Amino acid sequence: MPRDHRPAKSIRVLLAEDQQMMRGALALLLGMEDDMEVVAQVPTGDAIVGAALTHRPDVALLDIELPGLSGLDAAARLREEAPGCRVLILTTFGRPGYLRRAMEAGAAGFLVKDGPVEELAAAIRRVLAGETVVDPALAAAALSAGPSPLTARECDVLKASADGATVADVAAALHLSESTVRNYLSSAIGKTNTRNRAEAVREARHQGWL
């Protein structure tokens, strides 16, 4: 079928990717599919929901690590505010913890970026048809890794500590006492089997828990 004779009903795709070159390449490649149309491209997580409400995509293709709102948090918001939009996570980081969080946020698929575009296009069609599409190797790793041992509050404290903030800074940012922050940090360090909070942050990120 010629490029300029698309089906009357093309699959409307929203792209969220902070790297301009990657975003442009994905838009170009998906635009070459006869049954797909990229209707919106955004570079930040904060712009995802607004773009979805404006352009009404059938599928949102989201990176995880975006400026502002993460792709995982945006997926959860899309489930509430644009329930007709299916979410497919496409990321460089195939971490078991990310997969679990993506599924909990309502994502219909999870793929890593090193696959061929043909597989990505097929995955978009499959999630739109109601299927769940997950990289098989990552699915197996997620099952063997188990759920995150960290509580939501421990994750909040680790995130707030990530850029070298002091205990006092974290306490003020999260409206907690300094002793409570120390307790959460101590618990997180123990659960990640690390020696200090910097190592705990690195390990939690590596596992995809943050």
Tens-digit pLDDT profile for residues 9-63:
689 999 999 999 999 999 999 999 999 999 999 999 999 999 999 999 999 999 9
What share of the chain has pLDDT > 90, as a percent?
Answer: 45
Residue 119 pLDDT greater than 70, yes or no:
yes
Compare 152 and 49 and report the one with higher pLDDT: 49
Q: Which of 7-16, 65-74, 89-98 has the highest mean pLDDT?
A: 65-74
**Chain centre distance of CA 103:** 10
Residue 142 is predicted with a pLDDT of: 60
The model's pTM: 0.68
Q: Are 61 and 72 in contact (CB under 8 A)?
A: no
Residue 112 is predicted with a pLDDT of: 82
DSSP string for the chain: --TT---SSPEEEEEE-S-HHHHHHHHHHHHTSTTEEEEEEESSGGGHHHHHHHH--SEEEE-SS-SSS-HHHHHHHHHHH-TTSEEEEEES---HHHHHHHHHTT-SEEEETTS-HHHHHHHHHHHHTT--EE-HHHHHHHHHH-S--S-HHHHHHHHHHTT---HHHHHHHHT--HHHHHHHHHHHHHHTT-SSHHHHHHHHHHHT--
Tens-digit pLDDT profile for residues 158-202:
888 888 888 898 899 899 888 898 888 888 888 888 888 888 888
Residue 206 is predicted with a pLDDT of: 76
Residue 165 is predicted with a pLDDT of: 87
**Tokens at 124, concatenated:** 């978009």
**CA dihedral sign of residues 109, 81, 208, 146:** negative
Q: Are 112 and 92 in contact (CB under 8 A)?
A: yes
Q: Are 73 and 55 in contact (CB under 8 A)?
A: no
Residue 95 pLDDT greater than 80, yes or no:
no
Q: Are 111 and 90 in contact (CB under 8 A)?
A: yes
Residue 144 is predicted with a pLDDT of: 54
Residue 8 is predicted with a pLDDT of: 52
Nearest CA to 18 out of 54, 44, 41 is that of 44
Residue 44 is predicted with a pLDDT of: 96
